[in-house]
Amino acid sequence: MPELPEVETTRRGIAPYIQGQEITEVRVRHTRLRVPVPADLAERLIGARLDTPRRRAKYLLLPLVDAPGTLLWHLGMSGSLRIARVGDTPKKHDHVDLVLASGDVLRYHDPRRFGFVDWLDGDESRDSRLAHLGPEPLSEGFTGERLYQRSRGRRMAVKPFLMDSRVVVGVGNIYAAEALFMAGIDPRREAGRISRVRYQRLAGAARDVLAAAITQGGTTLRDFVSGQGEPGYFAQRLNVYGRRGEPCRRCGARLKHVVLGQRASVYCPACQR
């Protein structure tokens, strides 16, 4: 699934092509995504200009310059937004096109159709999908103190705690595993039994691993590509995720595997306590 770095990479990739551009045509080839494509999407968008794209957690928000409302896009499990040109033949799983006055096309590709594009009227912060999200992990609102305070009395394992979007957004399975390794914390440890100092270390590790992944263009494991169709390269730097049974890059111990919150997690039994 595209996580925060992949979505941020997509936002940065498409922004120069779509910002300020007028939408001249909307082509919907398949309406049955996870959320049905709004029937009046073309009516709302044709003739409008796109403002600066933003990201909130794993959502992309495309506001309009001269009209109220925002396009809310989620890439789901296998989705990607790419820049094509008018006349480029769509592929089998290219479901939605926004044709721009420049001749560029913002094209949504999603083989599994678990993503969606929806329309938000008015105050987007009141939308149920956005209203209860925690702080962005690269913002000043995300600190070790916040993790420490929110974890008190929590008996769940620290890895699913870190992946809870009400605690902090966008720290998905890959980056939670990597941050916990960098901080030296066993992913099975109870969230409420971790000290303030260790949470400060974990918050810093989460910021570092996400920033590095964004710099590298995300993590390509199966389907992710950027807005220009380029893969991400952070997978080459993964320390634990997807490396079950391999030697730890730090100490050489064999990496172990456990299921936490129905998600696979790999960790080093020597480095992570």
| Burial class of residue 146 (count of CB atoms within 10 Å of its CB; 0-12, 13-18, 19+) | middle
Structure-token match 């590509």, residue found: 225
Which residue out of 2, 5, 137, 160 is catalytically annotated? 2
187 given a catalytic annotation: no
What one-letter code names the amino acid at 215?
A: T
Q: What is the largest CA-CA distance in the chain?
A: 60
Please tell me whether 93 is known to bind a ligand. yes
Neighbours of 239 (CB within 10 A): 18
Any known ligand binding at 152? no
Amino acid at 118: D
Q: Which two tokens stand for residue 223?
A: 């389907």
Rounded-to-integer distance, Cα 101 and Cα 181, Å: 47
Active site residue 135: no
Contact between residue 188 and residue 258 where contact means Cβ atoms under 8 Å apart: yes
DSSP for 66-78 reads: SSS-EEEEE-TTT
Strands 104-109 and 54-56: unpaired
The residue from 11, 56, 58, 256 that is catalytic is 58
Is 54 catalytic? The answer is: no
DSSP-assigned letters across all residues of 195-228: -HHHHHHHHHHHHHHHHHHHHTT-B-SSS---TT
Helices (H), the chain: 4-18, 41-45, 144-151, 158-162, 173-183, 196-215
Task: Determine if residue 154 is labeled as part of a ligand binding site.
Answer: yes
Calpha distance 36→95 (Å, rounded): 12
**Given 27, 189, 244, 263, the catalytic residue:** 263
Confirm whether 145 is a catalytic residue.
Answer: no
Annotated binding site for DNA: 93, 112, 154
Catalytically active residues, by annotation: 2-3, 58, 263
Annotated binding site: 93, 112, 154
